[in-house]
Amino acid sequence: MTAPAAHPVLTGTPYRGYVYAYPHKTAYRPLDPPRPLSDVWAAEPRGGLFLYAHVPFCGMRCAFCNLFTTPVPGRSLVRLYLDALRRQAEVVRAAIPDAAFARFAVGGGTPTYLDEGELAELFDLAETVMGAGLAAIPVGVEVSPDTLTAGKVALLKARGVGRVSMGVQSFVEAEAAAAGRPQPRRQLDAALALLTDAGFPTVNIDLIYGLPGQTLDSWRYSLRQALAVAPRELYLYPLYVRPLTGLGRSARAWDDVRLACYRAGRDVLSAAGYEQVSMRLFRRAGEPAGGPAYCCQEDGMVGLGCGARSYTRALHYSLDYAVRPAGVKAILADYLARSRDELAAADHGFALDAGEQRRRYLLQSILTAGGLDAARYAARFGTDPAADFPDLPAFADLGLLTFDGARWAPTALGLERSDALGPWFFSPRVTGLSAGYEPR
C-alpha cells in the first residue's frame, strides 16, 4: 500500500466514479453462447427479489445526463416499447415462475413520460404477468417536473406507490437552463406541490452540485428550497460530465467546488435533522424503511426493459450499453425487435466468480453508513473481509474507514471520498474491461 500521505484516494480527485453498481455495464461483454434464463436463475434464491422496469424516455434531453434515454419519442414508439416489455415479462416469468418480489421500482429516463393509461399498463404488467403483489411491497417511481400531472399522481397513489423521486437538480432557473434543462420555477413548484399534497410516504428530491454558474451560495439556496418541501429523502449528486455528454469541461478547480458544495450540503442537511446514508443519500432521521426483507448485497434483481440490468449472484446481465444518441437508438431498436426466444436468454453481461462476488458485497456495504457486517460476510463467504481485502486496515489507518470489532464502516472522510475509495477496490479484470469499452 502507498505511504499514507501520498495515497491517491486522498490526494487524487475525489470524483473518479460513482459506484452505484459493481461491476459497471462498461465491463459487460457478449455472452457466447447466450445463457437460458431458466439456467441463469436455477441456483438463485428467488423468495425476495427486486423487480425493476426501465422506461427509456424523457420529455427533454438534459445536457449533463448520461442515463439511457431517448428524448420526446412519439406515442407509437412508446406503444411498441410497452408491447416489448409485456413480451419480455411473459418470457421472464415463464423462466422463473416461482419468483417472489419484495420491491418494485420504475426508473428511467422518466417513467412519467408515459401517460396515465400507459402507466397503468406498466403496473398491470408487474402485478398480473410478473406476480408482484404491489399492495404489500415498497414501490418506487422516478418522475420529473415537466411530465407530472395531477392525474398521474392520483394514479401512482392508487397503485400503491410509496416512494416518488423527482429530479430537481437546481431551484435556480438560470442554472438548470445553463445545464441544458429548461425548467421554469413555476412548473417545478407546481410539481412539488402535487407530490406533497398527495401524501406519499417518501418523496425524494435529486439535486446536483458543480453545475455551470452555480456558486456555494446558490447551492445553499437550492438546499433551503428543497428543505422547505420537507422531503423524506434527498439525493445530492456531484455533477459528472462524461466525454459524450453535452457539457465537456475539465477544470481541476472544479473538484474543489464540488467538495465545498458536498460539505455544505452534508452540514446543512445534518443541521436540519437528516441522517447521512451514503455520500449522496440523506434521509430524515428516525424513519426506517419498511416492507419485506430485501438486502441489496445478497438478493437478486429482475430487470425489464432495454436499459435494465438483472443480477444473480453469479451473473449480471442486460442489453448492450450506450451513451451516444445513435447507440441508444440502436439498442432500443434491437430490444423492440427481439423474439421471445431471444428474450429468454442472457446474451450480454458479466460472470462473477467467488472473488468478484466478494468485491461486490464489499462495495455495496462499505460506502454506506451501515457499513459491512463482518459476521454476515463470513456467513455468506466463509472468510473474514480483512483477510480477503488486506487494504481494509490500511484504509482505517488513513482515517477513511473504522472497524469496531463487528463492522467496517466509512468515516466522514471515507463518505466524502466514496467515489475515489470505491474504484480502488475494483478488480484488475473489471478495471481492464471498463477501460477497453469503446463508447458508442
Ligand X SMILES: C[S@@+](CC[C@H](N)C(=O)[O-])C[C@H]1O[C@@H](n2cnc3c(N)ncnc32)[C@H](O)[C@@H]1O
CB of 369 to ligand SF4, least distance (A): 26
Q: Counting contacts by CB under 6 A, is residue 61 touching ligand SF4?
A: yes
Q: Counting contacts by CB under 6 A, is residue 433 touching ligand SF4?
A: no
- Is there a contact between 40 and 315 (Cβ–Cβ < 8 Å)? yes
Q: Is the peptide bond between 243 and the residue preceding it cis, with omega within 30 degrees of 0?
A: no
Which cell numbers hold the place of 255? 473538484
Stretch that binds ligand SF4, among 57-65, 170-178, 392-400, 427-435 (CB under 6 A): 57-65
| Sign of CA pseudo-dihedral 97, 99, 100, 104 | negative
Residues 75, 337: Cα–Cα separation, whole Å: 17
Per-residue CA distances from 184 to 52, 148, 172, 237 (Å): 30, 14, 9, 21
- Which of 175, 206, 233, 299 lies at the binding interface for ligand X (CB under 6 A)? 206
Residues 387, 408: Cα–Cα separation, whole Å: 13
61's contact among ligand SF4, ligand X, none, with CB below 5 to 8 A by partner kind, is: ligand SF4
Amino acid at 296: C
Q: Counting contacts by CB under 6 A, is residue 144 touching ligand X?
A: yes
Q: Counting contacts by CB under 6 A, is residue 165 touching ligand SF4?
A: no
Contact mark string toward ligand X, 87..116, x via CB under 6 A? --------------------xx-x------
166's contact among ligand SF4, ligand X, none, with CB below 5 to 8 A by partner kind, is: ligand X
Q: Counting contacts by CB under 6 A, is residue 108 touching ligand SF4?
A: yes
- Is there a contact between 305 and 54 (Cβ–Cβ < 8 Å)? yes
What are residue 103's phi and psi, to 5 degrees? -150, 150
Question: What is the number of the residue whose Cβ is closest to ligand X?
Answer: 167
Q: Counting contacts by CB under 6 A, is residue 14 touching ligand X?
A: no
Centroid of chain to Cα 129: 25
206's contact among ligand SF4, ligand X, none, with CB below 5 to 8 A by partner kind, is: ligand X
Residues 305, 393: Cα–Cα separation, whole Å: 41
Q: Counting contacts by CB under 6 A, is residue 62 touching ligand SF4?
A: yes
CB of 177 to ligand SF4, least distance (A): 13
- Which of 110, 245, 312, 368 lies at the binding interface for ligand SF4 (CB under 6 A)? 110
